[in-house]
Amino acid sequence: MTDETPFQIDGFCHLALVCSDMRRTVDFYSGLLGLPLVKTLELPDGGGQHFFFEVSPGSYLAFFWFPDAPDPVPGVSSAADMPGYGEITSAVGSMNHVAFTIPEDRFEDYKERLDAAGVRTGFILNHDDSPWGVAAKMHPGVFIRSLYFLDPDGILLELAAWTREIGPDEARHEPRTAADRTARVVPAEA
């Protein structure tokens, strides 16, 4: 940490999401993906549960189960589908997707495992700086490879592997502002 750094942030402690069925969530994240379930809490006054899965030492994926949580609204509270299959836009303040780091040489194996378990998966994508942001084949400009899939509650997940070092010269786009957006109006249910 330098004197100019306002906070010493060493990584993510946890990301907390909401599920509809904690048993199914444990089966998926611990049983299928192999993330150890390391901490469970019952919330006071029947308020629900809070469970933690270890992703790597000191980093956790946590889930709340609330007995009265509203149903998800794909395309608002989360992406409606996977890249290449449908709309990936979600609302301001929503959690769009969670990406897990994997070894680059395991994509095909992990895709086969997910497919065999009945999990709907997308394509293995080679992200690059081309106009479409994705290349059909690997090349030196590919900076990350991805495989997207959905958890039982429709949470968009990604298996990802960096394929090269990312340098400071790659942060070159001017940030857009609220004035640059046109908010999509979501019609109220009748």
Amino acid 32: pLDDT = 97
Give the β-pairing of 156-162 and 134-135. Answer: unpaired
Which residues lie below 8 Å from residue 21, measured CB to CB, with a gap of 6+?
Answer: 65, 152, 153
Q: What is the helix (H) or strand (E) element at residue 64, kind and residue range?
A: strand 59-65
- Taking the whole predicted model, whether its pTM rises above 0.95 is answered as no
3-class secondary structure, 56 = strand
pLDDT digits (tens, 9 = 90+) for 161-185: 999 988 888 888 888 888 888 877 7
Please count the residues of the chain: 190
CA distance 184 to 29: 33
The domain made up of 10-69 is a member of CATH 3.30.70.3270: no
pLDDT digits (tens, 9 = 90+) for 116-134: 999 999 989 999 999 889 9
CA distance 160 to 181: 29
Q: What percent of the chain has pLDDT over 90?
A: 65
CA distance 1 to 79: 36
Cβ neighbours of 157 (radius 10 Å)? 22
User: CATH 3.10.180.10 region(s) of the chain?
Assistant: 10-69
Q: Given phi > 0 = left and psi -120 to 50 = alpha, else beta, which region is 133?
A: left
190 has a pLDDT exceeding 70: no
Biggest alpha carbon distance in the chain?
A: 56
Note whether 151 and 28 are within 8 A (CB). yes
Give residue for tokens 């086969």.
112
Looking at domain 72-166, which CATH architecture does it have?
2-Layer Sandwich (3.30)
User: CATH 3.30.720.110 region(s) of the chain?
Assistant: 72-166
